[in-house]
Each structure stands twice: as C-alpha cells, then as structure tokens.
Amino acid sequence: MPSHLHFTSMTLGMAPPATPLPLIGVMGGTFDPIHFGHLRMAQELAESLGLAEVRFIPSATPPHREQPMTSATQRAEMVALAIAGNPLFKLDTQELERQGYSYTIDTLQFLHEGLQGKARLCLLMGMDAFAGITSWHRWQELLQFAHIVVTTRPGAALPSSNLVLDAFLQTHMLSDAQQLPIQAEHGIWVQEITALDISATKIRESLAYGCTPRYLVPDKVLEFICQHDLYSGTSRY
Ligand code: ATP
C-alpha cells in the first residue's frame, strides 16, 4: 500500500479493536445459606474465565421467591465466613443498604457506573436462575451493564417452551469465552462446571429433619448456623 494511503479502522467505518479489560464476576444469590455449590461455581468461573475478582452480593429482599428464613445480615455474615481467605472473593453488601426489593438491574447499574469503563462485569448465574430470567425486573436491560455467564447445574435445563428466552440466548450468545474481556457489546456465555447437586433448599430441609449439612457447607458456616440455631434444631452439630 502506498505510504500516503494510511487507512485506520475508524476511517473505514469499522469498530476500533476493543481493549481487553479486567473482568469482575457478580455472584448474586439469597445464600440461605451459602454452600459449596456457590463457592465451587465462583472458583471455577474465576479460573476458566480469568476473572479479576468475584463479588458475592446477598439479596436483601429477593423479588422472585419466598423470603429467606434468615436475616440479610446473617446471610451476609455466612458469606463473609465462607469466602474468608480467598483473595479473589469479595463480599458486597450494597443490596442490604437499599430499601425495597433487591433488583439485580439496580445492582449492575450501580457497579457499572462505579467502574467508569475500567473493567467489564460478568453476571454469574446457574441455569435454573437463567431459566427464569425473563420474569426479572427490566431483564432486557441487563446486557447494557454486564455480560451474562450461565453455568450448568444438576437438574436445571433451559425450558424448551420459552421462545422469548431462546431468542434472547440465540441473539446474544458469544461464540468464545475469549470475547468476554474484549467485547464492549455484552453477550451471554454458557460454561460447563463440575456438577455439584447441592442446594440451599436441601440444606435447610436436612437441618429441619435433624441431619447435618456437614461437607456441603464450609465448617465456619456450619458453626454459625449452630451458634445461632438457624433453620431449627441444629445446635447438636
Ligand atoms: P435455594 O435452594 O434456596 O433456591 P440455591 O442453592 O439455588 O438456593 P441461591 O442463593 O438461590 O442458591 O443461588 C445463587 C446462584 O447460585 C444462582 O444463580 C444459582 O443458580 C447458583 N447456584 C446455586 N447452587 C448451585 C450449584 N450447586 N451449581 C450451580 N449453580 C448453583
């Protein structure tokens, strides 16, 4: 090419190459209580996607489900105990400080504004949560603020009858996880993780039946449950 013909991507009308940015995982949940399913999911995503950190954000007043059995403060304390010592994991209590329902869109918007373009957000969720996403408040706007990273979960599949969800996935699915740090237009990535059939519901049920959730939750979390006699009749563990 003659030296005076110097075309840039801008002059050719193409999008400029995006700069890779650090990725921050956003792990919302009720965490009633936090368990190894949550922790392993966050760890595997942090490693496979190269996340700079994962923020655990307990929902104070979840809009889509029965209200938790324990207070938001107790759930946040259990998260703090569970993640202590992992330099990648951080507790973020912003939803405890807000009034009304804890909408994920508000949390993402707040985080996105605080980052001022210095990092990209990845909203992390299991397949069960993603299957219900079209009922979330302002769900179509989630991708304005974050990528969505969906993990496999035992017993959870995409509902084949939800055409809206299917179209959402097909339209925004990324072809490669390598796109996450560089692609300014947010997309959806589905990641397979180690299948751990652990749920907070089963943990609460086993405690109610007088069984221990030992080896399903970190020991410190179990100690906290016992000390505060959460989920009924647990003090003997
Ligand atoms: P509950 O049984 O009370 O509904 P849960 O175990 O599903 O609770 P949540 O706090 O509701 O836990 O989940 C927070 C997030 O973690 C959700 O996106 C959920 O899909 C995901 N998650 C929880 N447990 C697992 C697991 N074992 N494998 C993969 N993802 C999980």
Please list the pLDDT of the chain residue by residue as tens digits (237 residues): 444 444 444 445 555 557 899 999 999 999 999 999 999 999 999 999 999 999 999 999 888 777 888 999 999 999 999 999 999 999 999 999 998 899 999 999 999 999 999 999 999 999 999 999 999 999 999 999 999 999 999 999 988 889 999 999 999 999 999 999 999 899 999 999 999 999 999 999 999 999 999 999 999 999 999 999 999 854 444
Q: What is the pTM of this model?
A: 0.91
* Domain encompassing residue 64: 23-197
Beta bridge partners of 188: 148, 173
User: Alpha carbon of 57 to those of 28, 130, 165, 228: distances in Å?
Assistant: 5, 17, 24, 22
In a domain, 152, yes or no: yes
Tell me how far the alpha carbon of residue 212 lies from the centroid of ligand 1, in angstroms.
Answer: 19
Q: Structurally, how many domains does the chain consist of?
A: 1
**How far is residue 162's CA from residue 164's CA, in Å, rounded to a whole number?**
6
Residue 14 confidence (pLDDT): 54
Determine, yes or no, domain membership for 223. Answer: no
What is the CA(66)–ligand 1 centre distance, in A?
Answer: 14
Q: CB under 6 Å to ligand 1: residues?
A: 29-32, 37-38, 41, 125-126, 128-129, 151, 153, 196, 198-201
> Is residue 101 domain-resident?
yes
> Does a structural domain hold residue 215?
no
Q: What is the CATH number of the domain that holds 30?
A: 3.40.50.620
Residue 206 lies in a domain: no
For residue 112, the 8-state DSSP code is H
Residue 42 belongs to some domain of the structure: yes
End-to-end CA distance of the chain: 76
In a domain, 211, yes or no: no
